[in-house]
Chain A
């Protein structure tokens, strides 16, 4: 149901520029106003959110440790430097692997129950599918985004854009060059989507807001592919428009056809939606206190900005007053011997 809603949404989104551009002739609106506004929302929203995170305190160091810590004897007990970092550099590498290789996800296992011979068996097996789907999807997306830089830069730098294009296009199928990342992106989204649809447990936890971005990205990818391989849009004209956007000399050349407006509109929706959604996991992963802190709080002092100095232990003096008499009876030493003298009830 949630998936259907999302699909419907995206479908409606496609219709907007389709009619908007052709019927209403709002080319400047769709070519300039919408993308610019979306971009502004994206930047401001993104920064706002990250600043919000940054303004909450990190009172304690709470890294999840995934291996042996640095022991008193580093030879006897080898530290797992990546999963249990203790210095800034080690933590940095932990984060690099986390961000670029999805290391934690790589560890994923799947549980299953079996009837053993005479007793039940719980089995765990490595399950790398999600990792594979996710990494295909994210890298393809990333490469495609970088490739698009060619539309905004003049001259086009070889690194990384030209180089990427070369590697990406190495599998040349027909003309124009077929990009691996295009395939990867579509495959990645479709796989992630199917996982959400088919796996009952994942389906159970999925909202519209989980399906929507997937459908949206899929439609962006498909519209992009359509433009490039089928509609064969006028790249020169598009570059004129995009360069206009970044240099604030807005032009919308006549040669640009409607498929481009659809593509740009969908990308604009994605940009504007981004800061308000779970897509913010992208900047968020860098800030996660269970991953980006070294595990050193027994060795080094850290400050909790809101630590309350007024919270103190129950005073020993009161403890001794309360239990002094029986303590004295069993011979436990007392700070104040008077506490050990039985309270004379007649005096009270």
Chain B
């Protein structure tokens, strides 16, 4: 990260005035740092075996090379694939036709705000595709190409697609502001499907995809290793709380299957959130199991194409059936929830086994009719219901050293409408809660700039630029209210927001919501805790014996 400019310098380099050359004439920067590494050929070969015909020829190539080793018939493949998708998705067909280029979306994208690159204006990002649509498929575009901003598919166009459709996190913020609801994220998804057809992809997406398929989770953690990690966490929980919690894995005959993104199993600070889930479930004596086979909630397929999205998602129902679970509880995750909420039942609803029922909290008896079709409940809905029914004994003062704000992840916010439940939970487990400015939260929330498969270090500067709006809002509450922790409900956020905060608002840490729940949860009458879930001393609750102060000079 040494060649990344300091925050101030980067900020000064942002210029919202477009260049003098028209956008079609402005060349694209293919130097390293502007793209993610392409997938390793063996990952593509594996996925091609699983879902043939969607990936092009596996090969070694780099975007900085002049020759991308495209297959000889790449042009027909892309154009025909485009035509096919216009039929399959009304959204695509419509969004190709009705944009009036009013520019309302232009300054809504975090990548534009942080870079000033006009091709990061959602309208222009979509024009990269629309121009080809007009040039290839419309009469007006064919005869009046110059006047209507049309062009045909050419190699440099496809290369431009690769750069800019992998500079969109599919956060849909632009869609909220468009008078016709034009969703650039939807077009990004289509463009990526098309690029996959001719072998343009990134390793940070394809490796997780193939891992998810083989091992069940994106990190490729094998089942025994998964169990080891969970066991470690059980030890750590005991260290903090004195309680040895159950952590059932692959067990049959439980009511609930719990699925969370595997990022929570693997990395800081997600593991503390995971410990939070375990502690909560044990406290409730919940009849549940987790699964190593369905050990990934995050759906990396949604960053590639519909087929993979469906295939990876199908594991959840398959595993519920094998284990005989009645409904599924889902952990804190962004893309997972967009897929669960908007796609899952449509794609895989008919593979549900007959024993599944509408989620019903065994603790409170609440029936969650909002999840009647998918049979899948978000953990903050579950916990909010517990809190409302007074089923949790909470001591929010244990989080008094934290001054907390909440980052709405794009997918639950704009793809679901899950806004209040996590806030409700947070406000009950900590005493100091502060909102970031209204234009940066709830449905207007800003992306972490690392979603949809961009969470990789190769493009750190792009991510930090895209992180400006979120980081700046965070900096604001840091100064105004002394905020020192940003909670979120997304595993990708828990990874991407850390460098973002370090850069734009140093001193703020990131945590999942259920980590704070675990901190506050009073397991039994008179329970004393001296550490938080991170095994750091809890200010105000220190163990007296631990409270060792060095002797003063006189005493010595």
A interface residue numbers (CB < 8 A to B): 2, 5, 49, 52-62, 64-73, 76-78, 80, 83-84, 98, 102, 104-105, 107-111, 113, 119-122, 124, 130, 134, 199-210, 212, 276-278, 280-281, 284-285, 287-291, 295, 297-304, 306-309, 311-316, 319, 322-323, 326-327, 329-333, 335
- A56 — which chain B residues lie within 8 A by C-beta? 86-90, 92-94
B59-67, B95-103, B256-264: which lies at the A interface? B95-103
B interface residue numbers (CB < 8 A to A): 7-8, 11, 14, 16-18, 22-23, 50-51, 86-94, 97-104, 106-108, 113, 118, 121, 123-124, 127, 138-140, 144, 146-149, 172, 175-183, 186, 213-216, 222-224, 227-228, 249-252, 292-293, 307, 310-312, 314-315, 317-319, 322, 340-347, 349-351, 366-374, 376, 381, 384-385, 388, 413-421, 424, 437, 439-440, 442-444, 468-469, 472-473, 475-476
- B419 — which chain A residues lie within 8 A by C-beta? 67-69
Please name 27 pairs of A and B residues whose Cβ atoms are closer than 8 Å in the assembled complex, sorted by A: A5-B147, A56-B90, A56-B92, A60-B342, A68-B417, A69-B416, A72-B381, A73-B366, A104-B177, A104-B178, A108-B104, A110-B107, A124-B439, A204-B118, A205-B103, A289-B90, A297-B374, A299-B373, A300-B372, A301-B346, A301-B349, A312-B351, A313-B311, A313-B312, A314-B214, A316-B319, A333-B252
Question: Please, how many angstroms separate the alpha-carbon atoms of A312 and B312 in the complex?
Answer: 8
Is the pair B97, A111 in contact by a Cβ cutoff of 8 Å? no
Is the pair A69, B91 in contact by a Cβ cutoff of 8 Å? no
Is the pair B100, A281 in contact by a Cβ cutoff of 8 Å? yes
Question: Please, how many angstroms separate the alpha-carbon atoms of A56 and B317 in the complex?
Answer: 29
Known: A297-B341, A300-B372, A327-B223. A62 touches B186 (CB 8 A): yes
Chain B contact surface mostly: helix
Residue from the set B369, B370, B418, B419 with the largest chain A CB neighbour count within 10 Å:
B370
Nearest-neighbor residue (CB-CB) of A273 within chain B? B140
Is the pair B127, A68 in contact by a Cβ cutoff of 8 Å? no
Question: Please, how many angstroms separate the alpha-carbon atoms of A49 and B35 in the complex?
Answer: 37
Chain A contact surface mostly: loop
Known: A278-B99, A333-B250. A65 touches B416 (CB 8 A): yes
Nearest-neighbor residue (CB-CB) of A105 within chain B? B179
Known: A297-B342, A311-B314. A290 touches B175 (CB 8 A): yes
8 Å CB contact of A57 from B89, B186, B371, B439: B89
Starting from the known contacts A109-B177, A205-B124, 12 additional A-B residue pairs (CB-CB under 8 Å) come to A68-B419, A76-B384, A201-B17, A204-B18, A205-B23, A209-B149, A276-B140, A297-B341, A307-B347, A314-B213, A330-B223, A332-B227
Is the pair A119, B475 in contact by a Cβ cutoff of 8 Å? yes
8 Å CB contact of B23 from A55, A204, A332: A204
Is the pair A76, B424 in contact by a Cβ cutoff of 8 Å? yes
- A309 — which chain B residues lie within 8 A by C-beta? 350
